[in-house]
C-alpha cells in the first residue's frame, strides 16, 4: 500500500511538472508575439550598441552648411516724399534721396538626399532660402494715420550654395512647403566634382516615436558643425506631427538632420529636421535706423529720434522638429516633376 502511495505521489509530481511545462509553453508564444508587436517600428530610449553609434559620423558627412545670399537695391525716402505702399514705384529713382545696395545672408543646414548622373537633391528649412521679394521700413504715420515709406528694398538676385557641392547658378528651389518649413533644392553638378556622400539611411516614420526616445541632431549652429544628443519631449506640438527635443538651438541649426534608432530594424532612421526654438518678443528702444550704418560712436551722445523695436529672444534648450512625413509628402507631391528633371528618388525605396 505504501508502495502504491509512493508511486502515485511520484506520478503526481511528474504530471504537475509536465503541466507546468505545457502551460509555460502555451503562454510563451503569445508573450513573445506581444513583445515583437510592441517593438516593431519602435525607437530606442537608451544608447544603441557601440557598432551602431560608430556609424553616426559617417551619416553626418551628408549634412552640409548652406549659405544663402540675396542682394537688394534699397531706395531711401524722406518723410516729405509721401511715398506709401500703394505708390507707383516707377518713380522711385526720381523721388529717392539715396539708392544703396543692401546684401542679406543666412546660414543654415542642408542634407544631401541623392545624386543622379549630374544632379544633386538636398533638403533644408524653407525659411533659410525664402527671402522676401520686397521689404519696407516706415516713417511715423502722417495725419491720415497711414505710414509713410522710409526705405523700400527690392531683391535683385539670390544664390543658395553648399561649398562642397558647387552647382552652376547655385541650388534652385524645386519644391517648397512653407507651412511645414521644408524646401527641396537641386541643380546640375559641376564637372569633375568629388562629391560628398548622400544620406546613407532610410527616412523613417516619426509617428512611431514616443516621449523619452533618444535622438541625434546634426547641424551648423553659428556656422560650426555639431552633432548633439537629445530626448523627445513633446509630440504633435502643432497638429502637423512636429515634435520637440531638449536640444540647444542656435541660428544656423535650421534644417538640422534629426535621427532616432529603430529597435526592430537595428538601424538609425531620419525622423525629422530641426527648424526653430520657442522665442519671446520684447520691445526695446533703438536709435533711428540709418541704412548702411549699424554702429554709433559710444563716446558721443545720441540726440536723434528714438524708436520702439521688436526683438525676439530664443528660449535656448528646446528645438522644434519638422517630422519626416512632411518631407515624404513634399517629395510625393512633386515626384513626377523631380523624376522628369533627372533627380534620383531611389532613396525612398
Q: Which residues of the chain have pLDDT under 50?
A: 1-40, 279-280, 291-292
What integer pLDDT is reported at residue 6 of this predicted model?
Answer: 33
pLDDT tens, 290-341?
544 555 666 667 777 676 666 555 555 688 899 999 999 999 999 999 999 9
| Cα separation values, 56 from 1, 170, 261, 268, 315, Å | 74, 28, 11, 8, 28
What integer pLDDT is reported at residue 316 of this predicted model?
Answer: 57
* Distance, CA of 277 to CA of 347 (rounded, Å): 29
- Give the up-direction half-sphere exposure of residue 113: CA atoms within 13 A in the CB hemisphere: 26
With beta carbons less than 8 A apart as the criterion, state whether 188 and 28 touch: no
With beta carbons less than 8 A apart as the criterion, state whether 148 and 138 touch: yes
* Distance, CA of 217 to CA of 260 (rounded, Å): 9
Question: What DSSP string describes 304-338?
Answer: S-EEEEEEEEE-TT-EEEEEHHHHHHHHHHTHHHH
Query: Which are the contacts of 319, defined by CB distance < 8 A and separation ≥ 6?
Result: 217, 230, 244, 245, 246, 247, 248, 249, 253, 256, 274, 275, 276, 277
* Distance, CA of 140 to CA of 48 (rounded, Å): 59
Whole-model pTM above 0.85? no
* Distance, CA of 289 to CA of 305 (rounded, Å): 9
* Distance, CA of 95 to CA of 89 (rounded, Å): 10
* Distance, CA of 138 to CA of 85 (rounded, Å): 10
* Distance, CA of 31 to CA of 299 (rounded, Å): 77
What integer pLDDT is reported at residue 317 of this predicted model?
Answer: 61
What integer pLDDT is reported at residue 315 of this predicted model?
Answer: 53
Task: Name all domains of the chain by residue range, CATH numbers in brackets.
Answer: 50-289+297-348 (2.40.10.120)
pLDDT tens, 130-170?
999 998 888 877 677 778 889 889 999 999 999 999 898 99
* Distance, CA of 221 to CA of 243 (rounded, Å): 20
What integer pLDDT is reported at residue 319 of this predicted model?
Answer: 87
Q: Which residues of 208-219 are buried (b: 16+ CB within 10 A; e: fewer)?
A: bbeeebbbbbbb
Amino acid at each position: 500500500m505504501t508502495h502504491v502511495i509512493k508511486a502515485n505521489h511520484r506520478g503526481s509530481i511528474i504530471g504537475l511538472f509536465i503541466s507546468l511545462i505545457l502551460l509555460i509553453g502555451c503562454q510563451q508564444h503569445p508573450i513573445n508575439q506581444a513583445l515583437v508587436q510592441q517593438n516593431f517600428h519602435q525607437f530606442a530610449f537608451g544608447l544603441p550598441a557601440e557598432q551602431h553609434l560608430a556609424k553616426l559620423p559617417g551619416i553626418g558627412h551628408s549634412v552640409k552648411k548652406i549659405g544663402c545670399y540675396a542682394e537688394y537695391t534699397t531706395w531711401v525716402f524722406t518723410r516729405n516724399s509721401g511715398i506709401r505702399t500703394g505708390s507707383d514705384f516707377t518713380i522711385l529713382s526720381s523721388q529717392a534721396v539715396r539708392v544703396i545696395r543692401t546684401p542679406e545672408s543666412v546660414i543654415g543646414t542642408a542634407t544631401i538626399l541623392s545624386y543622379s548622373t549630374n544632379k544633386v537633391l538636398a533638403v533644408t528649412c524653407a525659411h533659410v532660402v525664402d527671402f522676401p521679394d520686397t521689404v519696407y521700413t516706415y516713417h511715423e504715420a502722417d495725419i491720415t494715420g497711414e505710414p509713410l515709406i522710409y526705405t523700400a528694398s527690392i531683391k535683385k538676385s539670390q544664390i543658395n550654395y553648399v561649398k562642397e557641392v558647387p552647382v552652376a547658378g547655385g541650388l534652385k528651389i524645386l519644391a517648397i512647403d512653407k507651412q511645414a518649413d521644408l524646401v527641396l533644392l537641386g541643380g546640375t553638378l559641376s564637372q569633375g566634382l568629388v562629391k560628398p556622400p548622400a544620406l546613407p539611411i532610410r527616412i523613417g516614420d516619426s509617428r512611431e516615436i514616443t516621449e523619452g526616445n533618444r535622438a541625434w541632431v546634426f547641424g551648423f549652429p553659428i556656422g560650426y558643425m555639431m552633432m548633439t544628443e537629445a530626448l523627445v519631449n513633446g509630440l504633435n506640438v502643432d497638429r502637423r506631427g512636429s515634435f520637440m527635443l531638449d536640444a540647444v538651438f542656435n541660428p544656423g541649426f535650421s534644417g538640422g538632420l534629426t535621427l532616432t534608432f529603430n529597435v526592430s530594424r537595428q538601424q538609425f532612421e531620419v525622423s525629422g529636421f530641426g527648424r526653430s526654438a520657442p522665442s519671446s518678443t520684447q520691445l526695446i528702444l533703438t536709435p533711428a535706423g540709418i541704412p548702411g550704418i549699424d554702429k554709433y560712436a559710444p563716446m558721443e551722445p545720441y540726440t536723434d529720434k528714438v524708436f520702439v523695436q521688436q526683438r525676439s529672444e530664443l528660449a535656448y534648450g528646446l528645438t522644434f522638429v519638422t517630422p519626416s512625413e512632411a518631407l515624404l509628402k513634399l517629395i510625393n507631391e512633386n515626384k513626377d516633376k523631380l523624376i522628369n528633371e533627372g533627380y534620383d528618388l531611389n532613396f525612398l525605396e
